[in-house]
Amino acid sequence: MAPPRFRDVSERWTPDDVWALAPDASSRKAAVKTAKPASWALRGFRAGDSGGGLAVWGECSGSGSKPYQVVVDLAAAPASRCSCPSRKFPCKHALALLYLWSENTVDPGDPPEWAAEWLARREAARERPAAEPAAPADPEAAARRLERREERVAEGLAELELWLRDQVESGLAGAPGMGYGELDSVAARLVDAQAGRLADHVRGLSGVTSLPDWPARLLTEYSLLRLLTAAYQRREHLPEPMRATVRARVGLPSSPDLSAPVRDTWHVLGRCDFPAGQVRGRRIWLRGATTGRTAMMVSFAPQGQVPETPVRVGTAVDADLAFHPAESRAVLVALHGDSAAEPPGTGADTALADWSAALAADPWCTAWPVVVADAEFVRGTPWLLADPTGAALPLRQDCCPPLTAAAVSGGAPVTVAGEWTPGGLRPLSVWAPDGRCVSLDPRVPAGAAGA
């Protein structure tokens, strides 16, 4: 299989593409300051169709005597290297260089030795998985390792179940006094058992008891955890899609089925960043124009860095996606083209019926994309998103008041994409009456336990 292509190689990026990589507002500001051509005595780029992959490099004079050497590899997901001491990624030099390039102030050429060396190493690394068979060298050993891991997870879950049982037996009334420590040690045992995702989830429960309706919320969370432990015990008897869901929810790894990519025109509905343990996660929702299939691209990056964002919200991409066996999770295999496009929407009834169907396949699901057409934002506690029939989705408390979305709508009916969650709708993007898409880029606050 060919290495994944993330964008048309002949395409020069727009400044917007560049700023989408900035880890935060301050690094973007610093990059704007750094992006003066006079500071860049050396700068050049290699077009993607000239043999090697698309790459940009340059030398930026800083406060020291030696200029900073920075090179950015754009052949696949953007990666960069800079000789500056910054711990942000990409650093302001890489961003500034890309910005200059996006503004057409960088000339094509051959990379200098220091850049060529690094690019060659990356290229070699990219080729390797494609050159070798996808299967591990020793399938039997791998199967044994997986089996051992599943057993350890089973032990961890049995322990969790016992703990849940004890909580309910002695009563949840004591939960607010339990403190962070106890949940943390439960989570730590799950980490030991290699059920990392579940551990993060359990750790996030410590915030629940500070919410006004915490008894109901806590019982919901505990009962769904018990549902998961019970389902895992019975995993051999579950039908395949549900078994895959249970394995994914527990935190066992899965891989995308590269043998059967799905090609469609995928509407990129919206994106949302969420905390995931020590790292920052980003999910991007897509929906196929022909297949109607929902896809979720997930990527992670250390705090202060930007998770990979291979597609832009508000576009429709003609692409091949390979799906994981659960959670509609997908990866981009090949991108054939993209254009701005407004997705078709439904009414509020259909949106919630879709959500019910998603829950039937995955009862642990806490976010499902919905697109409401001709929708109006309505003031209230909470605010609502009403369809033309008057059926309305209440917004999540942490998304009220939705002033940016309201400003874009101007009180007119608009297409709104969002995530339906047990706590209400989280708007993700709005298409203005003139068709312009505004991505609201919400962030899930930490410790809210998903719902």
In this structure, which amino acid lies at residue 154?
A
Examine residue 234 and tell whether it contacts other proteins (CB under 8 A). no
Question: How far is Cα of residue 245 from the mean position of the Cα atoms in its chain?
Answer: 18
- CA dihedral for 7, 8, 9, 15, sign (positive or negative): negative
Task: Return the number of the residue (169 or 240) whose C-beta is nearest other proteins.
Answer: 169
Q: What are phi and psi of 194, to 5 degrees?
A: 65, 30
Rounding to the nearest 10 degrees, give the CA dihedral for residues 172, 176, 180, 184: 10
Examine residue 393 and tell whether it contacts other proteins (CB under 8 A). yes
What tokens appear for 261 in the block?
Answer: 């990519």
Examine residue 33 and tell whether it contacts other proteins (CB under 8 A). yes
Task: Return the number of the residue (146 or 361) whose C-beta is nearest other proteins.
Answer: 361
Examine residue 412 and tell whether it contacts other proteins (CB under 8 A). yes
| C-alpha–C-alpha distance, residues 35 and 9, integer Å | 23
Least distance CB 59 / other proteins (angstroms): 19
Examine residue 165 and tell whether it contacts other proteins (CB under 8 A). yes
What tokens appear for 214 in the block?
Answer: 């915490």
Task: Return the number of the residue (297 or 326) whose C-beta is nearest other proteins.
Answer: 326
> Between residue 35 and residue 54, which ones bind other proteins under the rule CB under 8 A?
36, 38
Give kind and range of the element (H or E) at residue 290: none
Task: Return the number of the residue (27 or 265) whose C-beta is nearest other proteins.
Answer: 27
Examine residue 263 and tell whether it contacts other proteins (CB under 8 A). no
Q: Which stretch binds other proteins (CB under 8 A): 70-78, 168-176, 248-256, 308-316?
A: 168-176
Query: What is residue 274's three-state secondary structure?
Result: strand
230, 340, 361, 446: residue in contact with other proteins (rule CB under 8 A) = 230
Examine residue 370 and tell whether it contacts other proteins (CB under 8 A). no
Task: Return the number of the residue (118 or 232) whose C-beta is nearest other proteins.
Answer: 232
What tokens appear for 239 in the block?
Answer: 């039908």
Q: Under 8 Å CB-to-CB from 110, ≥6 apart: which residues?
A: 44, 46, 116
DSSP string, 417-444: EEEEETTEEEEEEEE-TTS-EEE---BP
Least distance CB 220 / other proteins (angstroms): 4
**How big is the CA angle at 185 (ends 184 and 187), to the nearest 5 degrees?**
65
Task: Return the number of the residue (12 or 28) whose C-beta is nearest other proteins.
Answer: 28
**Among 61, 66, 60, which Cα is nearest to 106's?**
60
Least distance CB 294 / other proteins (angstroms): 17
Examine residue 148 and tell whether it contacts other proteins (CB under 8 A). no
Examine residue 352 and tell whether it contacts other proteins (CB under 8 A). yes
The single residue listed with the structure tokens 């169907």 is 357
| C-alpha–C-alpha distance, residues 266 and 204, integer Å | 33
394, 398, 400, 450: residue in contact with other proteins (rule CB under 8 A) = 394
Q: Which stretch binds other proteins (CB under 8 A): 48-56, 65-73, 167-175, 200-208?
A: 167-175
Strand 107-108: give its sheet, edge to edge.
79-82, 68-73, 55-60, 40-46, 107-108
Number of residues interacting with other proteins: please give it, by CB under 8 A: 67
Examine residue 336 and tell whether it contacts other proteins (CB under 8 A). no
Residues interacting with other proteins, by CB under 8 A?
A: 15-16, 19, 25, 28-29, 32-33, 36, 38, 161, 164-166, 168-173, 215-216, 219-220, 222-224, 226-227, 230, 348-349, 352-353, 355-357, 359-360, 363, 376-380, 383-384, 386-387, 390-394, 401, 403-404, 406-412, 422, 432, 438
